[in-house]
Structure 1
C-alpha cells in the first residue's frame, strides 16, 4: 500500500512540474489556466472540511487523475520539459 502511495506521489509531483512549466510558457494552450484554476478550487473545496475522510479520499483519486489528464492533453513539446 505504501509503495502505491509513493508511486502516486511521484507521478503527481512530475505532473505538477510539467504543468508549472507549461503555465509559464507564452504559447500555452488557452484552456490550461482555467483548467488549473478549477482543479485547484476543487482540491480546496470546503466540502473537504464537512466530510474530512471522504474529502481526502476524493482528492487523493480525482485530483491526481485530473492533473495527469491535463498533462496528457498538453502539446508534446511542453510535456518533454
Structure 2
C-alpha cells in the first residue's frame, strides 16, 4: 500500500495495487471520493479530492493485519 498527498491540488491517493497501475473502471463512493478498479474488478486505489476539507486536519488510518496462526508445541519433560 502507498499513500500519496499532493498539497498543491489537495489530493490524496491510496494505492492498494502497484503505484501507477491504470484503472479500468472508476466508481464514485461519495462526491469527491473515487474508487479505481482493475480489469478483473480488484480495488487498486482510492482518490480523495479536496482532501483537507473532506478529512479535516488529521488523517488517521487503522489497519488490522492478520498473522499466521502459530501452534504451540510442547515437548515431554
Indicate whether the TM-score tops 0.5: no
RCO greater where, 1 or 2, for CA within 8 Å and sep 6 or more? 1
Bigger strand share: 2
TM range (shorter): under 0.3
Scaled by the length of structure 1, the TM-score of the pair is: 0.21
Q: Look at both structures and tell me which one has the larger radius of gyration over its CA atoms.
A: 2
